[in-house]
Chain A
């Protein structure tokens, strides 16, 4: 007969002792797995939550990029190409460049098919002058309309050119003169038809008049010269891409410098960027908060588990001692038929190990089932995926419990098992 058969038969016979021992081990196993399960559920929930937020932020980021494109289009997230020797302080002070560069530069830039970051090129000649007929200072801007990129499909122009013999007037100017579209005004002795009048903008545009570039070059005696190329509607997805535009322009026009123009657009872009960064920071804060909860729970588990294991261990040990006392006669008989003391100890340790294994199995089943039900009740919509991923991560802890529980149960029963081996069979069997 095998020892295992004897142990299993005895376990089946002394049901109460077996059930109580089993309960103690199962409770300890379930407790251990419960801690792991809670951590796994927390991790899975954290992962799902952060993934959802990451997706939301990513979506928001994409929307932001889209916004940026719209802003740059609407507000002119644009750049200004100036002569290289132009002092920028003067540009900021005067509002235009005093130095000039060849008008041919714009054609050169438009002839580069590899330039992708700019959609519209607008050469201009700008200077503050006195309108003699009005006796007031105005800003004269000569424009020739957009210069199309060679080989690129013509886009709808952002700015219309001013035709020869026409003028576009800012608010202050047409208001002062009381002229409207179609009227004729005299500028430096030249009769010009008013092609457009702008409403109040609250900028220097209000004291600006736009005429054709050749006329401006003639009036200012700067034939074939311009002092700026407006690169409009740059395809910048973020403010950082300005550097890319600058590199690209300066590669082909080394005698120029590139200036960012539209601060308003930048401000909005920066504000959106900050909002995006705030969202990312909030995500990081959430991550830290959940990580902190995890650490605290781990610490709690670190205290709880040893206490549970100790209590269950003592309980298993007491039940093992009770079992030994109950089986004194049996021990005497087994010793009488030749079972050695060491074998007797092994018999009781084997019993404890089997109880440990069965308890671990039961505790694992109970722990997983309780965890499953708990997650289903508490986790709402994500319950199935959370429970699945949490349970899937329990493989190793379950294995550890199945290996460790029999060992710990045997250790808890060590003293009673030793006692069983040391019992004197003669003292048990002697009647008289």
Chain B
């Protein structure tokens, strides 16, 4: 198995009105290809901060992030954006779909950042796999919550990333929809991808091959 991402002693401190606030303190982990890792911890433990750092969106105060053998924060911001777009997929609890685009166009949004081969065909294929083939021309407002999350998942999967970073993707979903998402994530790992899933959801956590607990003391 090859290593997809490595976080070494990563810490993130923010400046606050009453002095520095440690959002993430000295966190290390490694994810291999095909691993489904659940990251759990109480609110304020730095789970989302860890995901943003791992995804190249938030430069850590200390420590290193290595993605597919590339030191992420040694890249220029532009290079990092493209690298992230090609190799990392994000799924958020709030979906962040663009309300004015159709389902298909929402899935195609990553193609704004860089060219993706046969993007439209790939988008239709992913949507088909997630049971959204009949909804491609609908706007997000016409979809159920579960359907919206599936669209967000399809958008994350479009560029065939190696790493999927999911932040409470099932937090707003009912059991059936949570299962669909869980299955999709599992399928992704079966295809060789790695998943870092931040969740409080006990329904999904058992699907993970490994669970990392972020303890409050690590964030303070």
Question: Which A residues have a C-beta under 8 Å from some C-beta of B?
Answer: 1, 3, 5-6, 9-10, 12-14, 329-330, 332-343, 425-426, 429-432
B residues in contact with A337, CB < 8 Å: 85, 90, 109-110, 112-113, 155
A residues in contact with B206, CB < 8 Å: none
C-alpha spacing A432/B159, complex, angstroms: 28
Number of A-B residue pairs with CB-CB distance less than 8 Å in the complex they form: 98
User: Which chain A residue has the least Cβ–Cβ distance from B156?
Assistant: A337
User: Which chain A residue has the least Cβ–Cβ distance from B94?
Assistant: A329
- Chain B interface bracket (under 10, 10 to 19, 20 to 34, 35 or more): 35 or more
C-alpha spacing A14/B84, complex, angstroms: 29
Question: Which B residues have a C-beta under 8 Å from some C-beta of A?
Answer: 23, 43-49, 52, 55, 57-58, 77-78, 81-82, 84-86, 90, 92-94, 96, 98-101, 105, 108-114, 119, 155, 159, 167
B residues in contact with A429, CB < 8 Å: 48, 52, 57, 90, 92, 96
Q: Which 7 residue pairs of A and B lie closest in terms of their CB atoms, listed nearest first?
A: A338-B85, A13-B100, A338-B113, A426-B58, A1-B108, A333-B96, A337-B110
C-alpha spacing A329/B96, complex, angstroms: 7
Main secondary structure of the interface of B (DSSP, over half): mixed
**A426 x B57 contact (CB < 8 A):** yes
A residues in contact with B85, CB < 8 Å: 337-339
A residues in contact with B119, CB < 8 Å: 1
A residues in contact with B101, CB < 8 Å: 6, 9
Main secondary structure of the interface of A (DSSP, over half): helix
Residue of A3, A335, A426, A432 touching B81 (CB-CB under 8 A): A335
Contact sample, A vs B, 18 pairs, CB 8 Å cutoff: A1-B109, A1-B111, A6-B101, A9-B100, A10-B100, A13-B99, A336-B55, A337-B90, A338-B81, A338-B82, A338-B85, A338-B110, A339-B112, A341-B81, A426-B52, A429-B96, A432-B23, A432-B45
B residues in contact with A5, CB < 8 Å: 105
**A432 x B44 contact (CB < 8 A):** yes
A residues in contact with B90, CB < 8 Å: 333, 336-337, 429
B residues in contact with A13, CB < 8 Å: 99-100
C-alpha spacing A432/B47, complex, angstroms: 8
